[in-house]
Structure 1
Amino acid sequence: EEASGFNPKHEEELRIPNFIVGTKNSLILFVNASVFEELESDQRRGEVIVEGQDARVTGLACHPKQMRFAVVGYSGVLQLWDYGECVVLGARKFDKLKGQCLGFDPEGQYLAVGFTNGTLKLLSATTLDEVQSFRVSGGSITDLTFSHDAQYLATADEDRCVALYRFTYRDEDDTKPVEWVFIGKHRSHSKAITGLQFSPSSPSLEENVEDLPRLLSVGEDHAIVEYDLQNSFIKTGVKLKSRTKTELTAIPTGLLFSFGAIDESATPSIIVANSEYKLKVYGDDHRKCRRTVLGPTYGGPINRMIAMECEDNRYVTFSTMEKVIGVMKLPLDGNPSKTMGLIAHAGEVTSMVSSLDGRYLITAGGSDYSVFLWKVQPEAIEASIALGGDTLRPYLELIEGGPGGEFYDEIRNYFYYAQLRSQGEETTRQRKIEGTVPISQVPNLMRALGFYPTEHDIRDLISELEQSHPGGVDLPTLIRVYVNHRPVFGISKADVRRAFETIAKVSWA
């Protein structure tokens, strides 16, 4: 006993500092060392200082008028946070339900929660008490959104259906109370729905002009669908207004209504992101593609976009399918200097929302059980533009060999040859090199440079140039168009193999 230094007759008092404990249920506890002196087991407990999500985190929503956000996940726990003070304001547990998506109405009165079993619950945005509940979807509710006038709520589900709700009289009978009423649903897509959004409020409309909301969805079936809200009722169901084919090969992955995407027009443009890292900008009627630009090429294609304004400039924040979030400055033109991104999560980014003033982004990481708060600093984009330049050089850096390479010389030679060809190859008259080529020659120039657009792509290309450069295309414009329209990664052997397999199937059919 003396050799070991241990003497049970002189046992010293246990002395340990206060400590914290993390649990597998995403709790962090503060434990005071004095609990070991307590006799009752109920007194030997720690104080909960952080309560996180202990399952996949899938849904986020920011309050439109207060510094609050809500988060939900597969644990069934819904939490309401104050992101200014970083404290939990309230929470509730949904037994046997897995939360998928969230949304506050523009007035901040209701919080809509979509679940994986197709249930939709409308809660009080302050107390989280249930106000109404619906179960009209067979599959998981994948997205939900409110109109800017707080009169409509739309949801998309795994069954490729869009459901519509209106805040009106029950059963559309003006003798009954006003509440959220299910209008109907429509299977408007043949493949998964990748974007659902109402039009934003227009700030430039006159007082007597009614600012009616519009609802659009986009899906993997290459279609933009607009819904006829004003003629959709309980008796008639959800009516469609129009359907537009967007692509032949690329798969649409995201949708956004935004002002300033091309110019300072008073009507919003429609931005569609696709699987080929392109952003296609459509006009108000979404029938003509007004511009195609190269999008960010890191972290996979864009799947979420949020419009924001800061210091008289317009930006779009985005997330990709894996890891990356970022910011783009409007108008969209494909300039890589006007885009930045960073790694936000180790894997999938399941949700992203913006704060009420656009100063913060909140992201959820799905299987990493994490929710991150990011501060948006647009001045970093402005510095990038100043360094990279807002001229032709950023585009030249994206072509093989750069501005002094052989490929640039080849582009220039083809450009001048196209001018000669447009004046007739066998003419003996004096040539006039005016520095532009007719729009009709641009598809041939694309093919000469190794980019073979489809007839659908050519229609979009010509439509874009007719609106922006009706008098002809100069060399800088040709280079910008080439960089924005060509495939990012070219044609692979797998693409050629799939093409031959498709031809074989058609031949045997």
Structure 2
Amino acid sequence: MVSTLTGKLLSVSSESFNSSDPDNPTGAEVLLAAPASSITDVAAHPLRPELLLLDADSGQLLRWDMASRQCVAQRQLGQDVKAARLAVARDGEFVVVGCAGGQLLVLKGDTLEQVVALKNTRQPIARVSVSSSGRHIAAADGAGQVLLYGFLPYKGTFLKWDLVGKFRAHQKEVIGLHFGEAPSGQTRLFSLGADRRLLEYNLAAADAANAGLRALAVLDVVAPGGAGTPCSMCFAPPMPYYSHASMDTLLLVADDAFKVKAYNPDAKAASATHLGPTFGGPISKLLPFRSVTDGGAWLAYSTAEQLVGLIAWPLDGDPQHSMGVIAHPGDVRGLALSFDGRKLLTLGEHGIINVWDVNTAALGPQPSRQASFGSSSAAAAQSRWSHLLGDPALLEELRDCFCYAQLLAQPQDTAGAYDITGRVPISLLPDLMRAAGYYPSNADIDRLMAHVAFLAAMVPDDEAAISSSGGTNSSRPGAASDEVAVAAAAGPDGAGSRTGSAGSSRLKQADVAATAGQVQQQQQQEQKGWQIAMPAAIDFDTFLCLFVNHRPVTEVSLQQIEQAFSTLGAGTAAGVMSSQRLLELLQQGGEAMSQEELLQVLQALTGAAQPEDAIPEYVDARTFTAEVLGFAG
């Protein structure tokens, strides 16, 4: 019995060693042929139960039959060709191989015969994608450059693959490169980098390349917001037919903060932010597919190490609508779905390929709606989000805050009975979040409001039980009043809360300022860029949904504060910054604070009368955390 480095187990008779040609003995029988340990990528055939494997060390492309578990075709790409990435056309007519040397090989799908070899970069090919029409190929190299190839006329006689153009798109690694189809049928190409830049490329200009155009045009450069760094991207499956957003193009962007954002590239904003799976690390790959079990849309995902799983679509952030299993003991290097969606293929270390049966029925029915805007009583609402808080005392405190917010929305000068509807104006949503211990920035508040509109759009018209007092309003609600914000940040004694825990007493201090007239005025304020109609009020169930999905999964760590100090320009040796410079940056960069706001915040945190008295003359991250923010440890 002889085993080889290429994954074969041979039975060799002893007589064969007496052969006149010892380098080529006869009588060897192949008992088992398995993929080699140097497999770098896996892809599934779009029409047959077959998979394609790339062997980096031997330079081979293998086509395996999943039923017989045998190699039915193979192609030697060359000993000097180190294959890295693999993509297959939607009709299976051709296969694209990206190589570490910068080559891009196009091969026939059945015979694996090479059609053309292209090389327009010296950097290794990191991503490869093929358009649904099969007319374009996109590749991204290790330097953040995106290359576009087209099947173009050559001298007016025949078509051949040629470079359309290339563009230095990203300063960091390209983590997503995808062709997709908008609901209107238009083919679009996007790339996303770890530098948080999302770019769309002008395929219409690429189609005109036969007229001499060879430049790659960029339509939009946008940055998905949020604290996390993007890790993966895919086109979202179609929305339910009744959704008002069913004609929008949506991209799903997963980040290392365990969030999955539904991003609208046309609006250049996140439509919704959902809590992703929190076990096994951030998502490194997302694949949409349609289940043969229930006919619904689902997402398959993998993390960088060990884990693969499924998520129901539409997303809602509920862990009960997702699952994960440990697929490999080490890295997960590849993920693919069979042509019928019944099998999930995963590639691990040492050439280990696992084939999993996909049974979406085990996760129960898909979420049909994501919020209940018709709840008649917040106090009586039995929210399915309650179990995700993990703290019954916090849940009761949030109920108290929500009930008190309803009182704040009532006219303060009336002698009649209050009209308690079980909903609060969305202008009070930021203050409710602060009372719950989550302190959103202005950008976070914009994402919260966008999510409210997204939830409302997901409810069928005949189920949208919105009362006359909670109708729709085309203007974006204004931010909460300064008095409410200060009260939410301050503790019961006005000295400021240093623990970040929820407290209804913080919200109660706002009753003087948050009169009904102010609430109505805030709801009528118009902000630039906000064009989506939304409900004017939300119920308790929706509030919990937003809180669970938007709050950070992990607490702010000392390492993050140290990184923030480094970004602000603190000395690299000791990480020390002068208090004067820190105060200047707080009033100039990012979401700049006014001098009055800064004074109020520092007084609430430290009790100091002047900003200079609140912060030591020279401060580092550890001192700032302990003496200013008041965090222990």
Using structure 2 for the length normalisation, give the TM-score: 0.70
Match for residue 185 of structure 1?
166
* Aligned-partner SS, 2:204: strand
- Tell me if structure 1 keeps the 8 A contact 2:314–2:367: no
- Tell me if structure 2 keeps the 8 A contact 1:165–1:184: yes
Query: Which one of the candidate residues 385, 388, 404 is aligned to 1:395?
Result: 385
The one-character-per-residue Cα deviations of 1:302-358 (angstroms, maximum 9, x if unpaired) are 121111112321111111111111111111111111101111111111111111111
Q: Which amino acid aligns with 1:219?
A: G
User: For the structure 1 residues 425 and 297, does the alpha-carbon distance in structure 2 shift closer, same or farther, using more than 3 Å as the test?
Assistant: farther
Tell me by how many angstroms 1:284 deviates: 6.0
Match for residue 468 of structure 1?
455
* Aligned-partner SS, 1:480: helix
Residues 7-26 of structure 1 mapped to structure 2, 5 A cutoff: 20-23=1-4, 25-26=5-6
Q: Which amino acid aligns with 2:7?
A: L
Alignment partners' CA distance in 1, 2:354 and 2:35: 13
Match for residue 67 of structure 1?
49
1:457 and 2:440 equivalent? no
Match for residue 199 of structure 2?
225
Tell me by how many angstroms 1:131 deviates: 0.9
User: For the structure 1 residues 201 and 471, does the alpha-carbon distance in structure 2 shift closer, same or farther, using more than 3 Å as the test?
Assistant: closer
Query: Which stretch of the first structure deviates more once superposed, 160-169 or 377-386?
Result: 377-386
Alignment partners' CA distance in 1, 2:96 and 2:402: 56
Match for residue 121 of structure 1?
105
Match for residue 406 of structure 1?
393
Give unpaired runs (5+ residues) of structure 2.
Answer: 373-380, 457-534, 571-576, 586-633
Higher helix share: 2
Match for residue 14 of structure 2?
35
Match for residue 270 of structure 1?
251
Match for residue 364 of structure 2?
382
Q: Which amino acid aligns with 1:100?
A: A
Alignment partners' CA distance in 1, 2:17 and 2:200: 66
* Aligned-partner SS, 1:237: coil
Alignment partners' CA distance in 2, 1:384 and 1:224: 30
1:492 and 2:557 equivalent? yes
1:103 and 2:75 equivalent? no
Match for residue 46 of structure 1?
28
User: For the structure 1 residues 163 and 87, does the alpha-carbon distance in structure 2 shift closer, same or farther, using more than 3 Å as the test?
Assistant: same
- Tell me if structure 2 keeps the 8 A contact 1:439–1:466: no
Alignment partners' CA distance in 1, 2:194 and 2:279: 21
Query: Which one of the candidate residues 264, 275, 287 is aligned to 1:283?
Result: 264
The one-character-per-residue Cα deviations of 1:374-425 (angstroms, maximum 9, x if unpaired) are 2211111227989xxx996553222132xxx111011111112222223366
The one-character-per-residue Cα deviations of 1:224-256 (angstroms, maximum 9, x if unpaired) are 211111013353410011122202421111111
* Aligned-partner SS, 1:368: helix
Q: Which amino acid aligns with 2:30?
A: V
Tell me by how many angstroms 1:99 deviates: 1.3
Alignment partners' CA distance in 2, 1:425 and 1:501: 48
Tell me by how many angstroms 1:467 deviates: 4.2
State percent identity of aligned pairs.
Answer: 29
Q: Which amino acid aligns with 1:433?
A: I
Alignment partners' CA distance in 2, 1:136 and 1:249: 35
Q: Which amino acid aligns with 2:559?
A: A
Q: Which amino acid aligns with 2:175?
A: T
Query: Which one of the candidate residues 233, 240, 244 is aligned to 2:222?
Result: 244
* Aligned-partner SS, 2:205: strand
Tell me by how many angstroms 1:481 deviates: 0.5
Q: Which amino acid aligns with 2:388?
A: L
- Tell me if structure 2 keeps the 8 A contact 1:196–1:215: yes
Alignment partners' CA distance in 2, 1:385 and 1:255: 22
Query: Which one of the candidate residues 165, 169, 172 is aligned to 2:149?
Result: 165
Tell me by how many angstroms 1:79 deviates: 0.8
- Tell me if structure 1 keeps the 8 A contact 2:177–2:192: yes
Q: Which amino acid aligns with 2:188?
A: R
1:304 and 2:288 equivalent? no
* Aligned-partner SS, 1:312: coil
Alignment partners' CA distance in 1, 2:226 and 2:323: 29
Tell me by how many angstroms 1:262 deviates: 6.7
Alignment partners' CA distance in 2, 1:245 and 1:305: 19
Alignment partners' CA distance in 2, 1:467 and 1:151: 34
Alignment partners' CA distance in 2, 1:37 and 1:307: 52
Match for residue 313 of structure 1?
296
Tell me by how many angstroms 1:30 deviates: 3.8
User: For the structure 1 residues 348 and 428, does the alpha-carbon distance in structure 2 shift closer, same or farther, using more than 3 Å as the test?
Assistant: farther
The one-character-per-residue Cα deviations of 1:266-298 (angstroms, maximum 9, x if unpaired) are 554211111111111123625232211101111
Q: Which amino acid aligns with 2:181?
A: P
* Aligned-partner SS, 1:418: helix
User: For the structure 1 residues 49 and 239, does the alpha-carbon distance in structure 2 shift closer, same or farther, using more than 3 Å as the test?
Assistant: farther
User: For the structure 1 residues 306 and 448, does the alpha-carbon distance in structure 2 shift closer, same or farther, using more than 3 Å as the test?
Assistant: same
Match for residue 39 of structure 2?
57
Match for residue 153 of structure 1?
137
- Tell me if structure 1 keeps the 8 A contact 2:313–2:367: no
Match for residue 308 of structure 2?
325
Alignment partners' CA distance in 1, 2:382 and 2:315: 15
Match for residue 139 of structure 1?
123
User: For the structure 1 residues 250 and 425, does the alpha-carbon distance in structure 2 shift closer, same or farther, using more than 3 Å as the test?
Assistant: farther
Alignment partners' CA distance in 2, 1:447 and 1:64: 49
* Aligned-partner SS, 2:279: coil
Alignment partners' CA distance in 1, 2:569 and 2:410: 42
Tell me by how many angstroms 1:468 deviates: 3.0
Higher strand share: 1
Q: Which amino acid aligns with 1:397?
A: H
User: For the structure 1 residues 26 and 398, does the alpha-carbon distance in structure 2 shift closer, same or farther, using more than 3 Å as the test?
Assistant: farther
1:80 and 2:63 equivalent? yes
The one-character-per-residue Cα deviations of 1:126-157 (angstroms, maximum 9, x if unpaired) are 12121111111222111111111111111111
User: For the structure 1 residues 141 and 160, does the alpha-carbon distance in structure 2 shift closer, same or farther, using more than 3 Å as the test?
Assistant: same
Alignment partners' CA distance in 2, 1:315 and 1:351: 18
* Aligned-partner SS, 1:414: helix
Query: Which stretch of the first structure deviates more once superposed, 476-485 or 77-86?
Result: 77-86
1:341 and 2:324 equivalent? yes
- Tell me if structure 2 keeps the 8 A contact 1:62–1:68: yes
* Aligned-partner SS, 2:199: strand
User: For the structure 1 residues 454 and 51, does the alpha-carbon distance in structure 2 shift closer, same or farther, using more than 3 Å as the test?
Assistant: farther
Tell me by how many angstroms 1:27 deviates: 2.6
Match for residue 445 of structure 1?
432
Match for residue 186 of structure 2?
212
The one-character-per-residue Cα deviations of 1:81-118 (angstroms, maximum 9, x if unpaired) are 11122110112232122211111112212110001121
Q: Which amino acid aligns with 1:459?
A: D
* Aligned-partner SS, 2:448: helix
- Tell me if structure 1 keeps the 8 A contact 2:270–2:450: yes
Alignment partners' CA distance in 1, 2:134 and 2:257: 35
* Aligned-partner SS, 1:225: strand
Alignment partners' CA distance in 1, 2:424 and 2:31: 68
Length, aligned pairs only: 471
Alignment partners' CA distance in 1, 2:43 and 2:318: 31
- Tell me if structure 2 keeps the 8 A contact 1:164–1:184: yes
Alignment partners' CA distance in 1, 2:36 and 2:542: 52
Query: Which stretch of the first structure deviates more once superposed, 134-143 or 255-264?
Result: 255-264
* Aligned-partner SS, 2:362: helix
Match for residue 343 of structure 2?
360
Alignment partners' CA distance in 2, 1:38 and 1:181: 51
- Tell me if structure 2 keeps the 8 A contact 1:270–1:286: no
User: For the structure 1 residues 340 and 315, does the alpha-carbon distance in structure 2 shift closer, same or farther, using more than 3 Å as the test?
Assistant: same
Using structure 1 for the length normalisation, give the TM-score: 0.86
Q: Which amino acid aligns with 2:200?
A: E
